[in-house]
């Protein structure tokens, strides 16, 4: 499933409604999982502003959208080496994770019985921690209102990664992490 830089989930049973509502913002399609859509947009920051405005003005979008997550990078994962692939994919985000608190959150769709989300989160966080320490940093994991969250959203064998800073999560409350 190539070419997505946004993942959205609908409230239960509202995927088709959400899909129709989001198509005005970009190229969105079902992701093959209940209540999940992915999309490709030209300008993610503009999308976030437009969705925030639409949530305030559109009577239908608030009853369909559960969350929307901007995705900065996608990679293909194999369950046998998913942790290494994801840790390598997260390397470009190290500068943004340095100097503040963070945690890694993975929301898995698919690969049931092949990947264990909490274990994979730790296996991705450990090399990030060590890399930050090797730079002379003192990493801090914080689960309540961290400076940054490295979010990994999987859709089958594809994974989307992004760093969600505190300001972004505050300015766009629909950008949610469980």
Digit-coded pLDDT (tens) for 101-141: 999 999 989 877 777 788 889 999 999 999 999 999 888 89
Residue 22, pLDDT above cutoff 90? yes
pLDDT of residue 66: 97
- pLDDT on residue 2: 59
Asked if residue 77 lies in contact with residue 85, where contact means CB atoms within 8 angstroms, the answer is yes
Could you read off the pLDDT of 27-81 as tens digits, one per residue?
Answer: 999 998 999 999 999 999 999 999 999 999 999 999 999 999 999 999 999 888 9
> What residue spans define the domains of the chain?
6-70, 73-170
What fold, for 73-170? Answer: VC0802-like (3.30.2130)
Spatial contact of 94 and 136, defined as CB atoms under 8 Å apart: no
In terms of Cβ atoms closer than 10 Å to its own Cβ (0-12, 13-18, 19+), residue 153 is buried
pLDDT tens digits, one per residue of 141-153 = 999 999 999 999 9
Residue 29: C-alpha distances to residues 24, 32, 41, 153 (Å):
12, 9, 12, 16
pLDDT in tens, 84-98: 999 999 999 999 999
What pTM was estimated for this model as a whole?
0.91
- d(CA 76, CA 105) in angstroms, rounded, equals 18
The pLDDT value given to residue 99: 81
Give the per-residue pLDDT at 178: 82
CA–CA distance, 43 with 40 (Å, rounded to integer): 9
> Residue 156 region, left (φ>0) first, then alpha (ψ -120 to 50), else beta?
left
Outline where DSSP puts E strands in the chain. Answer: 6-10, 27-30, 36-40, 65-70, 73-76, 101-107, 140-141, 148-155, 158-165
Handedness of CA 75, 134, 116, 151 (dihedral sign): negative
């Amino acid at each position: 499933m190539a070419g997505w830089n946004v993942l959205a989930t609908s409230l239960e049973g509202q995927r088709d409604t959400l899909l129709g509502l989001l198509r005005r913002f970009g190229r969105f399609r079902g992701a093959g999982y209940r209540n999940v859509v992915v999309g490709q947009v030209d300008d993610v920051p503009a999308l976030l502003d437009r969705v925030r405005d639409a949530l305030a003005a559109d009577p239908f979008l608030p009853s369909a959208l559960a969350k929307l997550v901007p995705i900065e990078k996608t990679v293909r994962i194999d369950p046998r080496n998913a942790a290494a692939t994801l840790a390598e994919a997260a390397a470009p985000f190290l500068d943004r994770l340095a100097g503040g608190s963070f945690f890694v959150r993975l929301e898995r769709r698919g690969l049931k019985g092949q990947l264990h989300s909490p274990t994979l989160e730790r296996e991705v966080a450990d090399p990030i921690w060590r890399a930050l320490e090797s730079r002379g940093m003192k990493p801090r994991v914080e689960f309540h209102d961290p400076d940054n969250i490295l979010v990994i959203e999987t859709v089958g064998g594809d994974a989307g990664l992004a760093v969600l800073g505190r300001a972004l999560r505050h300015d766009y409350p629909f950008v949610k992490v469980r």
